[in-house]
A and B are shown apart, each in its own frame.
Chain A
Amino acid sequence: MNSLSQITSCLILGSTDPHPNVTPSVLFGLGWLYLILFAMNVVWTWRSFHKARHFRLPEFMGGMDIPNAALWSIYSIALLLVSVTHLTCASVPEALRWFVMPDFAKAAVDSVVADARIYFAVTTGAFIAMLALRDWLAKPNVGWGILNLSLLFLCVSLTDWDFRQIVGKPDNVPIVAMLFIVGYFTWLYFYRANQNDRRAAEGKVPAEAENNEKVLTWPDLVYTEMICMIAITALLILWGIALQAPLEEPASAVKTPNPSKAPWYFLGLQEMLVYYDPWLAGVVFPSVIIGGMMAIPYIDFNKLGNGYYTFNERKFAITTFMFGFLPLWVGMIILGTFLRGPNWNIFGIYEFWDVHKLEALNNVNLSEYFWLYGLGQPLPIAPADSSFVVKSGYILLREAPGFIAIGAYLGAMPMVLAMSVFKTFFLRMGFLRYMVFSNLVLMMAALPIKMVLRWAVNLKYFIAIPEWFFNV
């Protein structure tokens, strides 16, 4: 149906490319996006003008003080020009070739995102950089600059057909929005936490404790709530008018779509299936996540940071939670939504979803590493007519390296950590609480560890007992 209409439109319009990167309507729409971006930056320029902040040029450039507002106004005017160019020249795509994502840039971006190894390394690296550079990132002008860069990236990327297909899917729109919203609130957290950390360094109480008079709920709170409710209602109605809820072909139990994806908020779990079997990735780990989150208040013995934003007073808690939420949860949803294509292969954001893309999978079990490569002998196999107990014995012998490794990881590792990096934790938590805590942290780390081992040495399973559906 869809391809038929594309073919007919090609015939009618005389266009030869069924997947055109730029069309007049796309360019016209982008003109409006740039106009919105311009309007946002006019507001920001106005704000900068009133804040009257300056920055100093380096000495070799004259060392002058330049008002921030001057820079933002130049940028805004540039945006206006870009927008007007798009709106007026939309019918002549050649005139706008400078605003189209160039092919070499697409190839560069795709080579980063279309490889789970690089994707994971980049997101983890970005996470560490975010923590390290938080003082600089939390500056309003820096935050605004990052927002503008990401929006410009989005605008320019929309000139690509494949990118539009994946980002413009109605169900994916909220995920794009979520990226920006989560980014904004993370920024807001660091902004407020830095403020309080600076105050603490000066010996002051947190900002939340100052000027904290009681006010009446009516009108101060109920009016805010009323405005908020109206805004949300308006947003939902506009969203509902602008975007139709998806409805595909009627359900058919015999036509399996490729890829078959879980609802977007479970794509992090579906991503785990690549590395762990369903009983772990689909049942045990989700339960551990829920249980572990419930356990947080009973594990965290740190009395500081209750009721105000701070980073310095809760470094470990914030870092661990954010690592779980940002790279491991949101990051995996992004990976599952935008990058996982047919056959669960990874595709770049500008790459066509080719059903025939092949990726070699030659994964090796730990037991095979140990017996075949390590000792140079075949895997222990029970004689064909032996009893259940003997067979089980052989299976356990075969997988002994895995059992020892897992046992050491979850049993001995907490002890080693208790004597080294987690020493203070162990002393303050007591034995039981510490064991729960360390096992939760180790299980959270189990996903990245398995990922890295898969990529580095093609490790399939630590323990591989398909006879019992027991693969770890």
Chain B
Amino acid sequence: MVEKSIGLKICTHLCLVIGIIILLLPIYFAWVASTHSVKDLLVAPIPLTPGHQFLHNYYTVLTQGSEGGGSDPVIFMLRNSLIMALGIALGKIIISMISAYAIVYFAFPFRKLFFWLIFSTLMLPVQVRIVPTFQVVASLNLLNTYSGLILPLIASATATFLFRQFFMTIPTELIDAAKMDGAGPMRFFVDVLLPLSKTNIAALFVIMFIYGWNQYLWPLVATTSDQMNTIVMGMQKLTLAVDQIPEWNLIMATAILALLPPVLVMLIMQRWFVKGLLEVEK
């Protein structure tokens, strides 16, 4: 029999709890700092427990950015991030799903070529094509637009593979039945495939939402106007301002606001997230 002693059990839980505390320490300290006044964070040691400035700090960053101005209200950055994340997540899902549908259910010339083109995007993450992609987007006049933020990131080989894999498991009888009922290809897609793909869509949505929200390099180069700042890249203006004393309380409040949406989406949709992550990579 495998050991089932109480001692081992307690030890396992203890190790997990200690490990998780260490793992989440950075988030805890960010939260603590975000509830103090800037004065409390000027000299070491910083406080280890939450203070009383929670409402004040979060109100300040949301409505005016930093205390002395110089930064934009975080609420606008949150809006931009939300638009970008949703645009990327939904865009990837839609274009991948319809192209996977075409590739699986139709025989047409150049199908293989299209498939390999989509496959090639797997090997071209935005980081390696950053300069020329910037040039393309600039020449299309898409800098400082939502389209410019979203479009260069929404081709997705992984999402296309996932849908393709899934469509291939759907029994042919279903198609025959649909055909018998006189359903055309689009009817079949909307009435049969779409409802069947719900879990896959949910799983991809969580992963792609996190991916989109957390983009940093691309928004950094594709936007120059402050109105287009996303929260993840807008952070750096606060952090990298060298000429002034860092307002760590406000920086940390912004950081908490920046990490909350993707964390919440992940926790709420945890089941789909795990499924998606494990399947996308297979």
A binds B: no
Task: Please list the residues of chain A having a beta carbon within 8 angstroms of any beta carbon in chain B.
Answer: none
- Chain B residues within 8 Å of A, Cβ to Cβ: none
